Chains A and B, each alone.
Chain A
């Protein structure tokens, strides 16, 4: 059967004369364009580039394991601030139960302490006489003083004369005389402290002091919160600080005995009989955690205080888990900042290319390759949609203008001139600013951007179409369609449009490249596609940071290469189409 057919075919061919027209293989104009096109190596290179770009963008996003806005994290050790310490230079007051120190008294205290000695300094505040006495190194007592009388020395005889309204017991008198004779200015009778203040000639003023508060630079920290109340108490504080100042190793307070172990700038306090576990530490260094809510253990605070006292810049501390941490100390003003290496959950910014991220990650910690794929979608989509929009408006307006001519043509072309007079980039910048101001969502923004670009860009197409149609309209074959009575719609769509199409296809293909460039420019300037969406232009935007540009080539170079290749591809294809459509080209 098939053999028969082949024979027939052969016979038929043999019957054709040598000059028979049927021997010539005939191609339709479309086929000829196609044939010429595929013989153009540059055009094929362009097609291959574009095919790659489309696969990369539209298939790549599907294949890629990541989302375009997926942020990657890494755990890394970072030297973070952990605690701050300060050497206390402000006096802390501990008041006797039920007493208060007014701000005025505290202020006066600050004023007089440099003159305060063992014998005390007095000042008047809140309607009372106050006496500040130095009890030790940076350790003062504050009390209200009351004059009882005068002690006058007459040779070896001393006379104690009470002030009006005061009574001085014999016991006190005897003790006062004894004190004057022995040269001490302080004595106690029945637990009440009496003071002698040197007056004129050989007379002394005898008075009592009621201690209201003590002031010191030391801070007390307890190991157990049960002891807080005890340690904060006036009696305990006074006894402990006195013992520290006088170098004693034991003291008593609130009916208990305590042992002291002196340290540089402070001390450790033990309950009597328990020398293993300290009960409280005393130090002039105050240690606070930088992070609120973090409780610093006592031994850590002690370690910091030790290190500061020893003027060290680093120390090691064994934490509760038994791990040795290295802490470094830096001065910042009057404060000491303690840093420590900590494991932290960080955004993986500017990661170098690796197997997981072949082109690394960007400044948001997103995979650059994945963003290039999704960005390509948007760049290509914007290119095509804007091109279609421009051509739609351009063909309609240019077609009407060219076909009808006359005043319609004049009017529409002046309208085109008007559009051409609008400065493109200022307009786009304003549009971008308006969209920013209204906080347009990213997806809506893309569509608005495409609409604006299309509306701003159709004039070129309109002019080309109009010119082409004006010249075609005068051609004899268009007159012939009128003479043969073919209806207008058919004249336009069967005769005019097919003759304009080649030029339009070439224009549109070439235009695609420039639209993609424009979109990239706008996105680069921050007017186009916004985070978290990406386009190739907005990815290159990272290079506007000189640090990124010089150090992280893998973030912006690939996007640039993709733009260049795509535009080149469109131009190659456009050139190839133009050559293929050109009837003057050889077959």
Chain B
């Protein structure tokens, strides 16, 4: 955490796994594992945004929560600022480190306690961690609220008096107030209507510039991800199947799943004929994932090797990584 050794990567994730046990019977015997996140590695540079896309239930939110140690990881490594392993902190140390990493939830309604006034929701943790001197506290909360597009007279109001967009601003203010380095934005705009989405996205971008924030932006809305991200990770059934810079991945998606996903982005031009790739079937259960490549059950390019062997992650250059046998010359996919 020392300032002279500020790491270029705010977050580094190596081989992160998160399994949820399936318990059954009278004594809660573990009868299986839900492979929510499996062998995921990525890093986010300071001041950038990484977009994380994927279908519902593919483990995006689990990654976000595991990064913040809100749910303990099963294995792997999460390094914050180059030297802090969050899962090794306990009790008071962990609590004191918490402000550095914040989270913004998808549902702005359940993420605010209905019995606390807004000023208290935003400032509670500020006071808890003594981030500002007591006499500056009020002014500080007002400043944060202004920065997030709220009025300071709204401090004494309660969450039920605010609209969804305003509530999301409150959530953002709560995160920003702690002066974090890193914020997990867990689908922050998917519960909002489109005009409000734009406001919130813009607010997040403005704040990123103002406070030099690093975001992990989880979303299933590809156009939003395309707008805000610097790098993009694509997830399928707990695995990160492709990871690249935004321009690279949108211009040249390599993985068949990514290609299918991106083909679904609507183009706001009625004359353009969309060449959509329709995926057959539905996403398999993460408790009982398919053997080999997890995507082989729905993949158009599936061959025998895909059913046998899990693909290795191949670096295709320019930081473009993909986990598919097609691009692995040693996999025996066909080119070999």
Contact = CB atoms under 8 A, between A and B. Distances in A.
Contacts, number: 83
A122 B247 CA distance: 155
A484 B105 CA distance: 13
Q: Which 6 A-B pairs have the closest CB atoms?
A: A485-B98, A476-B111, A484-B125, A485-B95, A498-B115, A476-B105
A475 B94 CA distance: 21
A358 interface: no
Contact of A485 (B96, B116, B161): B96
Given A29-B115, A475-B110, A490 B151 contact: no
Contacts of A483: 68, 70, 98, 101-103
A484 B110 CA distance: 16
Interface in A481-498: 482-487, 490, 494-495, 498
Interface stretch (A20-28, A69-77, A566-574): A20-28
A532 to B, nearest CB: 48
Contacts of A28: 117, 156, 158
Contacts of B171: 480
B68 to A, nearest CB: 6
B124 A482 contact: no
Given A21-B151, A479-B70, 9 more contacts: A29-B114, A29-B160, A477-B113, A479-B111, A483-B68, A484-B102, A485-B97, A499-B114, A583-B160
22 contacts: A22-B153, A26-B156, A28-B156, A29-B115, A29-B160, A475-B111, A476-B105, A476-B107, A476-B111, A479-B70, A483-B68, A484-B98, A484-B125, A485-B97, A485-B98, A486-B95, A487-B128, A490-B124, A495-B115, A498-B115, A499-B113, A583-B160
Contacts of A499: 113-115
B125 A485 contact: yes
Contacts of B68: 483
Given A26-B161, A486-B128, A480 B95 contact: no
Interface of B: 65, 68, 70, 94-99, 101-103, 105, 107, 110-117, 124-125, 128-129, 151, 153-154, 156-158, 160-161, 171, 174, 178
Nearest to B105: A476
A486 B174 CA distance: 13
Contacts of A29: 114-115, 158, 160
Contacts of A485: 94-99, 125, 128-129
A484 B97 contact: no
What secondary structure prevails in chain A residues at the interface with B? helix
A29 B99 CA distance: 29
Nearest to B160: A583
A484 B153 contact: no
A22 B161 CA distance: 12
Contacts of A495: 113, 115-116
Nearest to A24: B161
B153 A479 contact: no
B98 to A, nearest CB: 3
A481 to B, nearest CB: 8
Interface string A303-342: 0000000000000000000000000000000000000000
A482 B125 CA distance: 10
A486 B151 CA distance: 25
Contacts of A21: 151, 153-154
Contact of A494 (B111, B112, B124, B156): B124
B114 A484 contact: no
B182 to A, nearest CB: 12
A540 to B, nearest CB: 43
Nearest to B107: A476
